[in-house]
Amino acid sequence: MADIRKITQAIAYLASKLGNSVERYKIVKLLYIADRYSFRKNLYTVSRDDYFIMSNGPVGSLIADVTKQSDIELTPKELIYVENTIKLDCKNKLSSKVDLYKDLTSSNIEALDFAKENFGHLTKDELITLTHKMPEWTTHEYKLTPSVRRIKISDHDFMEEPENSSIDPFYRLEKKEKTYYKKLME
């Protein structure tokens, strides 16, 4: 189950590491990459969020709400926590209001750092293009229509290899580790 505090702290962590004032959608994409990496390495995501493919690629449902500071799926108490932890400005840029990430584990930080260090230099549009090459997108994109705007993807989809392994955030792990985690998912 998704954890609003952990999602919010992960967003704040990425924003602070990228120098704050970061495009909201860039954070959404980097958190997706961190979640994909974490799942493939640890069999759980940082956010524990449900992912859907949408027109701009895979998106975590609660991650989108938290970055928009939307009360659609957030309780008033959760929204106050989000607003006290991250700031969304009028230009749709996020920044961190705190440097406290007590709910993030060392493996969470590893995944977030991986996303930042390897993909943090990309623009929002480049990240969208990258995520459109991932199996989570390519497997389900044909199902999107004007009346079907989002499709839930399973954790299993995170284990699929993209056609071009150089874009896969997991490809840097040892082959032995990949085989072990793939067998666990079978």
Q: Tens digits of per-residue pLDDT, 97-140? A: 988 889 999 999 999 999 999 899 999 999 999 888 888 888 88
Structural domains of the chain, count: 1
Give me the domain span that covers residue 12.
4-185
pLDDT at position 165 over 70: no
Residue 63: left if φ>0, alpha if ψ -120 to 50, beta else—which one? alpha
Range name among 35-44, 48-57, 126-135, 151-160 with the lowest pLDDT average = 151-160
Tokens describing residue 38: 């974490």
Which pLDDT band holds residue 186 (cuts at 50, 70, 90)? very low
Amino acid identity at 58:
P
In this structure, which long-range contacts are made by residues 85-91, counting pairs with CB atoms below 8 Å and at least 24 apart in sequence?
85/8, 85/9, 85/11, 85/12, 86/8, 86/11, 86/12, 86/15, 88/24, 89/21
pLDDT of residue 180: 44
